[in-house]
Chains A and B, each alone.
Chain A
Amino acid sequence: MTRAIALLALLAFVAAFAAPVFAHEEAKRARVPAFALPEPGSYELPAIAHVADFTLQDETGAPAPLLDLAPDQVAIVSFIYTRCSDGRGCPAALAVLQRLDRAIAADATLAARVRIATVSFDPAHDTPAEMALLRRAMVPRSQWRFLTAVSPAAIAPVLSAFGQDALPLVGDGAQALGLYRHVLKVFLVDAQGAVRNVYSSGFLSPELLLVDARTVLQSVSPKLAGAAAR
């Protein structure tokens, strides 16, 4: 599959998930949680793990810190690869992040305090140029960055720190297929590098991510509590 076709396929999946009329049951489920959301700050999100601020590459190829957070900010980190052909995997994550991006951009307080990072775990294919194409397609409105690494060896410690698996698939003859087996995960990280929640796609929605982000941010800026109901 050529790079252009792979990206087009990915974007087609994203579009399917983001479309107002859903052909896919999963997309319907992902759009709005089927349960009442809690009030921000009404529950605890203890630190699950701590991650360092690794240096990666941005869409221009320049060195870029993965988190790069001010004390009153949080990051939402998602690992993907652009050749992913599983509609319930990376495309679903990108669709959720795109909706999250719109919601954040519409709220000035959140726009200053929530950063999104989409990170490729397939840097051999997903070059900065490839991530630039993805960025262009996603049309980010908030602080949403598209990062990759200089090599597979450079992304390995990042994946290990976050606990993100990504196993290259091989065919019967042990030939590389350019595909990965991976559990879809999205991470909420605070300014101290503490992972405060991890989401899998069945429990991944922009609304839930925002409630959790507000919960974490409240400990820094209590005034965010008032923004909860919006």
Chain B
Amino acid sequence: MRLGRLACILVALTLTSATSRADETCQSPYLPKLVGQEDFVYVWTLGVDGLGDGSDKLVTLGANPKRADYGKVVSSVSVGGRHEAHHGGFTDDRRQLWMGGLDDSLIFVFDVATDPAHPKLVRTLSDFVAKSGGVVGPHTFYALPGRMLIAALSNATDGGGKTALVEYSTQGEYVRTIWMPEGAEYGYDVRVNADLNRMLTSSFTGKNNYMRPLGELMKDAEAMKHFGNTMVVWDYHTRKPLQTLAVPGAPLEIRWALQPRHHYAFTATALTGKLWGVFKQDDGTFAAEDLGPIGDPKSPPLPVDMSLSADDRFLFIASFMDGTVRVFDVSDPHKPVLAHEQVIGKQLNMVSESWDGKRVYFSSSLLANWDKSGADDEQFVRAFDWNGKTLTKRFEVDFNDAKLGRPHIMNFGSEDFYRGKVAATDAAQLARGE
């Protein structure tokens, strides 16, 4: 399917069709998907003192081999200062990209629609902590119709892991705060399966820990007790918690299966290095299942990000410590099989897969104070082709050499998408209502 055809068919989107069609780096099912070749990769990048301007910035990389800017830095927008740039996400119409700072809880809103090659910072939301009632560390940005659902990491009272979900309108106005339930106070990711009216959240740690140097933190036995060990199953429509699942070891990213009748999700635990499944039971409740180790169980590799292919077959898991991606065949979700393993770099964080599963992008930075040092502090975005068996490198941008900083989350952009451009053959199909 060509990108143009996406224009009317996917964008007038239905949740069901979207979830059955595509992942595209595990975006919200409410979001219009880029189903063809992406033109750009937007990289939310941490500033590094003494490197370039030292500020956090949104870096745009060329990703379309048919364009002259393929594999190059197309543009860069500094936001001024360092805020612990981390995650972000598109609004429900994909016209704006909201990017969060885990340190000071600022939210930077970029217009990516007016000129997709040159995103523009149009607004900075500085009221997150005050309006939310003391929530700190906006992490996951998840588009819902008319609003942005934000899963946070911490709170302003003690900097611990007690935290909340916060909703803003797409126009940038605060809507409400939903604190995590008793016994499962920590937060990290949030993902919705609207077919089931269910929402899943996971749990990490508070600001006291995530802003602390990793080596120092790991030696502090007391501090290491303050990590999340739970996932919560919610009624999505009412935003009420239904179940707390025991998933020890800081379950991070959540990926719902995408195919119809695949009523399960995956997560990976950072501290224990395990893959977990969350499966819907016959009675409608959910159960968490330990699916086994990721890498050597004697030396957990700190799995940090994952991407599930649109057909629910391949699950890419990126691990920070060994810089390795492991691709599991999860055709049988209860029995994942390691299909491929490859070292991507000396450290590794995010993995983002194209809608068609043919291209996979990796970035290197985890947190400013958790990244490795010296020669191991590689900072890159590396692009690969995936043929179902092997990953073949296509290009790399060295963020140290380019004096950009530490690259973190990646999102895809396209020129034609925002121009409403439709190829002639697709236009004919659209006119026929196909």
Q: A49-B169, A177-B431, A199-B145 are in contact. Are A183 and B92 (CB under 8 A)?
A: yes
When C-beta atoms are compared, the residue in chain B nearest to A86 turns out to be B12
Contact of B194 among A48, A177, A179, A203 (CB under 8 A): A203
B8→A49 contact, CB < 8 A:
no
Q: A88-B13, A163-B146, A165-B93 are in contact. Are A202 and B29 (CB under 8 A)?
A: yes
- A34 near B: Cβ within 8 Å? yes
**Which listed segment binds B: A54-62, A102-110, A168-176?**
A168-176
Q: A1-B431, A44-B176 are in contact. Are A184 and B422 (CB under 8 A)?
A: no
B424→A201 contact, CB < 8 A:
no
- A206 near B: Cβ within 8 Å? no
Q: Of residues 46 to 93 in A, which have CB atoms within 8 Å of B's CB atoms?
A: 46-49, 84-90, 92
Interface size class of B (residues with CB under 8 A): 35 or more
- B400 near A: Cβ within 8 Å? no
What are 10 sample pairs from A and B whose C-beta atoms fall under 8 A apart? A25-B16, A44-B239, A85-B431, A86-B9, A170-B419, A180-B8, A181-B11, A183-B145, A184-B14, A201-B12
A26→B427 contact, CB < 8 A:
no
B430→A177 contact, CB < 8 A:
yes
Which residues on the B side are within 8 Å of A25 (C-beta)?
Answer: 16
When C-beta atoms are compared, the residue in chain A nearest to B432 turns out to be A85
- B342 near A: Cβ within 8 Å? no
When C-beta atoms are compared, the residue in chain B nearest to A180 turns out to be B8
Contact of A90 among B12, B29, B240, B421 (CB under 8 A): B12
**Which listed segment binds B: A35-43, A125-133, A147-155, A216-224?**
A35-43
How far is B239's CA from A197's CA once the two chains are assembled, in angstroms?
Answer: 13
Main secondary structure of the interface of B (DSSP, over half): loop
Q: Of residues 106 to 149 in B, which have CB atoms within 8 Å of A's CB atoms?
A: 144-147
9 nearest A-B residue pairs (beta carbon): A202-B15, A89-B12, A198-B146, A85-B433, A43-B238, A35-B197, A198-B145, A201-B14, A165-B93
- A195 near B: Cβ within 8 Å? yes
A interface residues, how many (CB within 8 angstroms): 51
Binding site for A on B (CB under 8 A): 7-9, 11-19, 29-30, 32, 92-93, 95, 144-147, 167, 169-171, 173, 175-176, 194-197, 235, 237-240, 418-424, 427, 430-433
Contact of B430 among A90, A179, A195, A208 (CB under 8 A): A179
B13→A201 contact, CB < 8 A:
yes
Q: A198-B146, A200-B30 are in contact. Are A169 and B430 (CB under 8 A)?
A: yes
When C-beta atoms are compared, the residue in chain B nearest to A25 turns out to be B16
Which residues on the A side are within 8 Å of B240 (C-beta)?
Answer: 43
How far is B195's CA from A13's CA once the two chains are assembled, in angstroms?
Answer: 22
When C-beta atoms are compared, the residue in chain A nearest to B13 turns out to be A183
Q: A44-B176, A171-B422 are in contact. Are A181 and B146 (CB under 8 A)?
A: no
Which residues on the B side are within 8 Å of A184 (C-beta)?
Answer: 12-14
A88→B14 contact, CB < 8 A:
yes
How far is B146's CA from A185's CA once the two chains are assembled, in angstroms?
Answer: 8
A171→B15 contact, CB < 8 A:
no
B146→A195 contact, CB < 8 A:
yes
When C-beta atoms are compared, the residue in chain A nearest to B260 turns out to be A25
Interface centre among A92, A195, A200 (most CB of B within 10 A): A200
B11→A182 contact, CB < 8 A:
yes
- A135 near B: Cβ within 8 Å? no
